[in-house]
Amino acid sequence: MSDNLIKVPTMAEMMAAGETPDILFWVGCAGSFDDKAKRVTKAFVKILNKAGVKFAVLGTEEGCTGDPAKRAGNEFLFQMQAMQNIQVMNAYDVKKIVASCPHCLNTLKNEYPELGGHYEVLHHTELIQSLLNEGKITIPNGTFQGKRITYHDPCYLGRANGIYEAPRELLAKLDAALAEMPRNKERGFCCGAGGAQMFKEAEPGEREVNVARSEEALGVNPDVIAVGCPFCKTMMADGVKHFEKEETVTVMDVAEMIANAADL
Amino acid sequence: MHIVSIAAFSLIFLGGIGFFGFKVSKIARNIKLGRPEDRSGNFAERFKIMMLVAFGQSKMVVRPVAGILHLFIYLAFLLTQIELLEIIIDGFTGNHRLVWGALEGTALAGLYTFTINAIEFLSLLALIATVVFLFRRNIVRIARFQKPEMKGWPSKDANIILFGEIFLVTNIFLMNSGDQALQALGVYHQTGEFVLSGILASKLSGVSQETLIIIERIGWWGHLIGIVGFMVYLPFSKHFHIFLAFPNVFFSKLEPKGRFTNLESVTKEVKLMMDPSADPYAAPAEDAAPVSFGAKDVFDLSWKQLMDAYSCTECGRCTSECPANNTGKLLSPRAIMMKTRDRIEEVGAGIDKNGKDYRDEKTLLHNYISPEELWACTTCNACVQACPVNIDPLSIIIDLRRSLVMEESAAPGSLNTMFTNVENNSAPWQFSPADRLNWATEE
Ligand code: SF4
Ligand code: SF4
């Protein structure tokens, strides 16, 4: 890591300076508070800084999108959250959003419009992909060369929104071998966190969902299990630990891998 | 004699159609007990999906073995309808192979022979598929057919249909081989060679003309009775999907799978709460129906969700992809659909008996589907993706959860904690909203 200083302008600061960012980075609750996810947030910001993207975050004005409440059946709470966020974003005249959490992405993209929030919403892997394509960042060969990587499709990125290729194309740029799990893309198997499961004990059963999925991932003998969702990251990391493989197998978000490889 | 057989035919055939129509009208009424939901518009796109998924069976081939075997049965079924048409015409007019009679000597005569040959060929493939299916279900005992919800009637239902299929195909071959043998004797019209039944007919050489006629007639009547029996049976069976698959796929959800409905009733209340000028004590409009949130019973589900239930083939592809079910939880998306159908059937029967406003004490939630099943769902959409007829079990799960949470306040304790956190801290965990940007300056 060459430089730990990151620049994170907020919408309020930008507005005060009379500037309008090109894109709002929606950090999300996990990205703001969860230790593993915060590393992804920072890695992504480094990429944005490096590429010179004019972005801003909402900072303390951002609030939970309401996704966990909605999936848990609390539509009231969801819509309260949604309307508050929409009020804030519309006041800033937000047009375009990038989110590093597929759950945030899904709600912002698919469920906010009906409530008055119309934005173009991208996943961070999609934005990084276009930055790479435009040559705004480059990846020297090296870091992941010869490594075996498997990619776990987050349900809310893959099946829910049909985004399968952007993260895979990024991984392909790393000069590593991509080993697919038996169940991938449309048939990808959940990590077990969605639908507010992250916030409760699992129902009685034979085993945990994340253990089943991690077993499948470990079955292709990866050096890295790549993910694109903060909740998948937690679940898969816990699963790898369950099999006592954390010394040899790392779980990383695609953005962290790119930032690593680009030596940011 | 002719008159007797025409009368018998008419009785069986029209009786079957009548009963079928009666049952279908009941099912249609039951589906209409659901809430309204707008699935109109986008005709071109809907039509395309229907042609692809229902007609073209595109999601079946994800599992190639079952997909291709099912395709044989499906194609045989479609094509056999042409032969059925001739049976109907002959039955009502007391003729024998009237269509051939009409085509004989014309340019289309070859097409007739070709069609019957195609039917026979596909029937043979369907027969093989049926035997393999019976084998898979009863001898190999493929896991997805052995889940708890398949115990008893559902497994019998599947076997009845498969044996029915064998019965139908057998009769086609009896009829056609009898016919071919009689043609060889010069008794029946010369329709050209039916390859497969021709082979069977060669085994019938030396059999008397009278016996051949009996064989042919047994096949003819057997086929008719098989078809009518099928028709009468379908409304009670998972096999009703052969009709409902088409409209059900046509009315599929077209939005991204991740998009859940926003409850309008909630939007109204939330807007009121957030609008500083609104009078919170304002009396609700006179004609306002009492709002309930989420679904407690089948009446609270939409017509499309009820149509989903009637379209379910009980194939279990959803359940075999479900992460909850795969890890031994009680939840099975197939069971969600089967229970919804059982409940709507029960409600329908109650209405038949006691009038249209009849309501019993039971509800889909609790009496049929338990909170334990509902809370196991990760909302991963694997079931929706897997379903070959685009059924959406997840939407029912969410609507029932909504009722549990918003009507009964019966969420698990840990979720209530999460709700409180979101409400107070705007995050599902107990962090202060003021710290939300701390990551930017932390090491
Ligand atoms: S959405 Fe729920 S029911 Fe459907 S497969 Fe996923 S966990 Fe199972
Ligand atoms: S819901 Fe669909 S996938 Fe599941 S059993 Fe019914 S038809 Fe099969």
Average pLDDT of the residues in A128-132: 96
- Model pLDDT for residues B274-297, shown as the tens digit of each residue: 877 766 566 555 555 667 899 999
ipTM of the modeled complex = 0.95
| pLDDT over 90, % of chain A | 92
pLDDT score at A83: 96
Test B382 with A76 for CB contact under 8 angstroms. Answer: no
Test B259 with A110 for CB contact under 8 angstroms. Answer: yes
Among residues 403-432 of chain B, which lie with CB inside 8 Å of chain A? 403-406, 411-412, 414-415, 417-419, 422-423, 426-429, 431
User: DSSP for B37-98?
Assistant: ----S-HHHHHHHIIIIIIS-TTGGGSHHHHHHHHHHHHHHHHHHHHHHHHHHHHHHT-SSH
pLDDT score at B284: 56
Judge whether B355 and B388 are in contact, CB under 8 Å: no
pLDDT score at A176: 86
Q: Does B376 touch chain A (CB under 8 A)?
A: yes
Test B443 with A4 for CB contact under 8 angstroms. Answer: yes
Q: Tell me how far apart the alpha carbons of residues B13 and B16 are, in angstroms, rounded to a whole number.
A: 5
Report the first-to-last Cα separation within chain A, whole angstroms: 5
- Model pLDDT for residues A70-81, shown as the tens digit of each residue: 999 999 999 999
pLDDT score at A133: 94
Q: Residue type at A25?
A: F
- As to burial, measured by CB atoms within 10 angstroms (0-12 exposed, 13-18 middle, 19+ buried), residue B95 is middle
Lateral strand order in the sheet of A148-151: A177-178, A148-151, A224-227, A250-253
pLDDT score at B265: 87
With respect to CATH, is domain A138-261 assigned 3.55.50? no
Q: Which of B255, B380, B417 sits opposite A110 (nearest CB)?
A: B255
User: Minimal CA–CA distance to B22: which of B234, B302, B222, B168?
Assistant: B234
Nearest CA to ligand 2 atom 6: B312
CA separation (Å) from B56 to B49, B74, B156?
A: 9, 10, 28
Binning pLDDT at 50, 70 and 90, where does residue A4 land? low
Give me chain A's average pLDDT, please: 95
Q: Tell me how far apart the alpha carbons of residues A62 and A65 are, in angstroms, rounded to a whole number.
A: 9
Each domain of chain A, given as residue ranges in start order, spans 3-130, 138-261
Higher pLDDT, A240 or B185: A240
Max Cα separation, chain B? Answer: 99
- Model pLDDT for residues A15-25, shown as the tens digit of each residue: 999 999 999 99
Low-confidence residues of chain B: pLDDT under 50:
1
Q: Tell me how far apart the alpha carbons of residues A100 and A123 are, in angstroms, rounded to a whole number.
A: 6
Indicate the pTM of the whole model.
0.94
CATH fold of A3-130: Rossmann fold (3.40.50)
pLDDT score at A236: 98
Q: Is the CB of B338 under 6 A from ligand 2?
A: no
* pLDDT at residue A2 greater than cutoff 70: no
Mutation pick from B274, B437, B443 vs chain A, by most beta carbons of A within 10 Å, is B437
pLDDT score at A1: 44
Task: Identify the architecture of domain B264-277+291-425 in CATH.
Answer: Orthogonal Bundle (1.10)
- Model pLDDT for residues B210-261, shown as the tens digit of each residue: 999 999 999 999 999 999 999 999 999 999 999 999 999 999 999 999 999 9
Q: Tell me how far apart the alpha carbons of residues B206 and B198 are, in angstroms, rounded to a whole number.
A: 15
* Three-state DSSP string of B327-360: CCCCCCHHHHHHHHHHHHHHHHHHHHHHCCCCCC
Q: Tell me how far apart the alpha carbons of residues B28 and B118 are, in angstroms, rounded to a whole number.
A: 35
Residue where the block lists tokens 């994340």: A210
Q: Tell me how far apart the alpha carbons of residues A62 and B16 are, in angstroms, rounded to a whole number.
A: 64
Q: Which atom of ligand 2 is nearest to the CA of B337?
A: 1
* pLDDT at residue A182 greater than cutoff 90: yes
Each domain of chain B, given as residue ranges in start order, spans 2-31+63-250, 264-277+291-425
